[in-house]
Structure 1
Amino acid sequence: MPAVARWLLVPAADPPESRDRGPSVSDQPLRSAAFRWFLGGQSISLAGSSMAPIALAFGVLEATDSAAWLSAVMSAALVPMVAALLFGGGIADRYRRDTVLRLTSLGAGCAQAGVAFVLLTHQHPAFLLPLAAFNGIFQGLTKPALRGIVANLAAGRGIQRASSLMASVGNTTRIIGPTAAGLLTASVGGGWAIAADSVSFLLAAVCFARVSLPPLPPRSADDPTMLGAMREGWSYFSSQPWIWTVTAAFAINNGLNMGVWQILGPVIANDTIGAEGWGLVQSARGIGALLASVVMVKLTVRRPMGPALASMSLAAVPLILLGAGANTFWLAASAFVAGVVAEFFTVVWVTVNNTHIPERLLSRVGAHDEFWSFVPTPVGQLSAPLLAAAFGTAAVAVTGGAVAAVAMFVPLLVPALRRIEINRNSE
């Protein structure tokens, strides 16, 4: 193996057998009560969250009939979320991740309750902006903790099993949620779906309270400060091309997908297939993701990064079909395929990260991965309506999809990335 490949594959510190893991950790995560409570809490949270994007999008459009307002509300949540990610990574590696999840779930539940109140009582949409910002902050603090906690609850081959189980249960909720949100929005309005999301966050906090990780060792005078710990996370992230090249590709992909799919998608659907049709399309993506996550419980690809990235180019096809004016059937079919390949990549990426990154750095490195891959997203969301007004909605959607597809192949130019082996330390 070339020297560069050895450098990429060997963790810089903390070999897996010395990592500080949670209670009852094994390669069979369902045997752990802590993992079962975590899985239940995350599933409940995702059940509500799967309804929120559609409910919020059509609720804002109903109140304002403006893509610009929808873009502003979405960006009001996304910008604080991205800004909070790096700080959240430092917190999640410095404090107990189960405690972080309890507090952020409570905060997100309260913020979503406020959003539901605004929509249900037909208040001015400007009130949604600060509430969306608070929700974004809580989500930004949550994501790094979620990226790191799997390594506290599973070990060896159990990491992929845990990731696949989490994805399977979560994707089940994503199948039902979008369709339910579309029906609720069409019948009684999106506020009730947002209210359900609020309740789901609060119930998730109760479940996370039953996940008890071991206390962290006391910090010594030599331990780095919060800023020093965050710099350590950046140093590791920037020294690993197999991480930052993938992050850069997803920065392009996310900016285009979020701008076209989340902003222009509901606008196009509002004039064509309606909220019900758009909900069915989103559910089709969830079905594809569920299928992939179930298969990935057992399937192991020895060197998965090449197939995972190449297949991700298919996730851009729905954007192209959206711009081409495809009907509900073809949009749903392409969304199904996009769900399969996206979930395949997600399970591979989580497993590779948890296998090849030291546990003590997982949340900080994951925060950088999330941060840099989402930085262009507000730009995409804010510019999508402007570009559509200048060049036409169809042209923006088709072009965005083509560029997003090409971006997925760029990291494959790094030979060592293609050589990364999954579960190298657990075979």
Structure 2
Amino acid sequence: MHREIGEAPQVPSLKPSRVRTDKIVLHRTKFEGREVRKIAGRSADERLEEGLRLIALVFYVVGAFVVLAVVNTPLAADEDFRGINRKALNAIAAVAVVSAFATVYAPWHRLPRDAFFAVPAAGVVLISVCTFFSWGWDSFAYVLYVFPASFFGLYFPSKATTGLAFLLLCGASPLLYDWNLQELVEYAVVYVPVFATVTFVSRYVVREVERKEAARRASEEELVEEKARAMELRRMAEMDGLTGLKNRRSLEARLAEETERSRRLGGRFSLLFMDLDDFKAINDEHGHLVGDEALKLVARVLQEDSRSVDTVARYGGEEFVVLLPGTDSEGARAFYTRGREKLLVLSLKELGLPLRLSAGAVGSEAAPDAGGLMQAADRAMYEAKRGGKDRVFVGGR
């Protein structure tokens, strides 16, 4: 492949990506069209967890080996097995099982997953009790061990380790008694496939249960997130972006609700329509940034003076509306008076210029519907403007 003079040389693209598997992390890098895979080292926690599981495996194998020996030995409780007292064998098995159980349930393990270890542990304990009533290889106690041992095989990271554990369990009894090769083969042919089948079927079932549980949790989390996003979108749709107050659409919906409630229950409310005086002059003389700060200050004053049941909204531009449930027009006038004085003090202190509001106040009796009330409050506000600004006019009388 030839390059023209002055053409930049082609550099192989390096696009790293990270793919996490169950036990390892594969770093994939594309280099000249080839994919290079690197197995990253496991973390200290993962190595510790695997080591603890291997220790638990050793304990279980030892305990199972001893239990198998006891179960398959038709001796009295006080007789010896190859020089070891039968009660001592039971004690060894119990210690092995308890040690494995303690290792498995260390605090650093995942408790929901480790809860399954109770199955093989309960099986081994049951076998230890049944050994006192055992009659050799035909003992029902040994059959009970098949399923607990199979379930136990689910929780080791290495398939080879799991297979070795079952081979030891399957081969323990015939090897102890030096059975002939034919008996050993028959034993392996019959029981090893049974153990393997139970193991892999159980592994599949448990993995499916875990997968469905993980999918259910993920679905629930996604549903919660979707609800939170929907609530946030709804809140943003009802909010004025500059001041953080309710916007015009939200105010009109709230006013319609309050009008209907007042009509049905006979309550009262008032509406206060305000306009920031000389706002255009503020923008022209001081700039739009100062104008925005002026609007924010008005919003803050109105919000701080309002009650939790009140609705404070930016109606548009420099216009603000306050809906006051349970308050008549005189109550709206009092609200305006408090806010007017506070706004004047804060605007001089924070902005260095006086901010004043003209307002129109009406009670719910001024009009039969929400639209009529808004128009009445708007007309009252313009009456205040014509009267010299920086004042409130009570309309609807």
Q: What TM-score, normalized to structure 2?
A: 0.26
Is the radius of gyration larger for structure 1 or structure 2? 2
The answer to which structure, 1 or 2, has the higher relative contact order (CA under 8 A, 6+ apart) is: 1
Decide which structure has greater helix share. Answer: 1
